[in-house]
A and B are shown apart, each in its own frame.
Chain A
Amino acid sequence: MNVARLAVRPSVLARRAEGTPNVASRQQPLKSPSRFLQLPHGSPVADCCPRFFSTSSALCCENRRTPASADTSGTKTETSQDRYSTALRLNKEWAAQTAKEHPDLFPTLANGQQPQILWLGCSDSRCPETSLLGLKPGDVFVHRNIANIMHPGDLSSGAVIEFAVQHLRVQHVVVCGHTSCGGVAAAMGNKQLGILDPWLLPLRQVRQRNLSLLQSLPPEEAATKLVELNVREGMDVVKQKGVVLNAILERGLQVHGLIYDVGSGVLRELDTEDSEEAIKARLTAFATEA
Chain B
Amino acid sequence: MASDSSDMEHYFSIFKNNKEWALSKRKADPAFFEKLASGQAPNYLYIGCADSRVPANEIMGLEAGEVFVHRNIANLVPNVDLNVMSVINYAVRHLHVKHIIVCGHYNCGGVKAALTPADLGLLNPWLRNIRDVYRLHEKELDQIADADARYNRLIELNVVESCRNVIKTAAVQQSYEANGFPIVHGWVFDLRDGLLRDLQVDFKTVLADVKKIYSLPKE
Confirm or deny: A287 has a beta carbon within 8 angstroms of a beta carbon on chain B: no
Chain B residues, Cβ within 8 Å of A16: 106, 149, 152-153, 156
Confirm or deny: A209 has a beta carbon within 8 angstroms of a beta carbon on chain B: no
Nearest-neighbor residue (CB-CB) of A55 within chain B: B39
Contact status A126-B65, CB under 8 Å: yes
CB of B118, distance to nearest CB on chain A (Å): 12
Contact status B149-A60, CB under 8 Å: no
Contacts A59-B94, A128-B64, A129-B55 given; indicate if A199 touches B86 (C-beta within 8 A). Answer: yes
Chain B residues bordering chain A, tally (CB within 8 A): 123
Chain B residues, Cβ within 8 Å of A254: 3, 11
Confirm or deny: A265 has a beta carbon within 8 angstroms of a beta carbon on chain B: yes
Chain A residues, Cβ within 8 Å of B12: 36-39
Q: Bound complex: CA of A288 vs CA of B98, how far in Å?
A: 46
Contact status B39-A110, CB under 8 Å: no
Confirm or deny: A233 has a beta carbon within 8 angstroms of a beta carbon on chain B: no
Confirm or deny: A285 has a beta carbon within 8 angstroms of a beta carbon on chain B: no
A/B pair count, beta carbons within 8 Å: 387
Nearest-neighbor residue (CB-CB) of B48 within chain A: A142
In this complex, the interface size class of chain A, counting residues with CB under 8 Å from chain B, is: 35 or more
Confirm or deny: B211 has a beta carbon within 8 angstroms of a beta carbon on chain A: no
Nearest-neighbor residue (CB-CB) of A250 within chain B: B1
User: Within the complex, which residue of B8, B38, B201 is in contact with A65, where a contact is CB–CB below 8 Å?
Assistant: B38
CB of A146, distance to nearest CB on chain B (Å): 5
Confirm or deny: B20 has a beta carbon within 8 angstroms of a beta carbon on chain A: yes
User: Within the complex, which residue of B16, B37, B72, B109 is in contact with A180, where a contact is CB–CB below 8 Å?
Assistant: B37
Q: Bound complex: CA of A80 vs CA of B94, how far in Å?
A: 18
Confirm or deny: B117 has a beta carbon within 8 angstroms of a beta carbon on chain A: no
User: Within the complex, which residue of A110, A144, A159 is in contact with B70, where a contact is CB–CB below 8 Å?
Assistant: A144
Contact status A154-B26, CB under 8 Å: no
Q: Bound complex: CA of A134 vs CA of B19, how far in Å?
A: 9
User: Within the complex, which residue of A17, A69, A243 is in contact with B149, where a contact is CB–CB below 8 Å?
Assistant: A17
Contact status A87-B63, CB under 8 Å: no
Chain A positions within 8 Å of B, measured between CB atoms, are 1, 3, 5-9, 12-13, 15-21, 23-24, 32-40, 47-49, 57, 59-71, 80, 83-84, 87-88, 90-95, 98-99, 105-107, 109-110, 112-113, 115-117, 123-135, 137-146, 151, 154-160, 162-164, 167, 171-172, 179-180, 182-183, 194-196, 198-199, 243, 250-254, 256, 262-267, 269
What are 5 A-B contacts defined by CB distance under 8 Å?
A8-B200, A20-B151, A32-B10, A130-B55, A145-B70
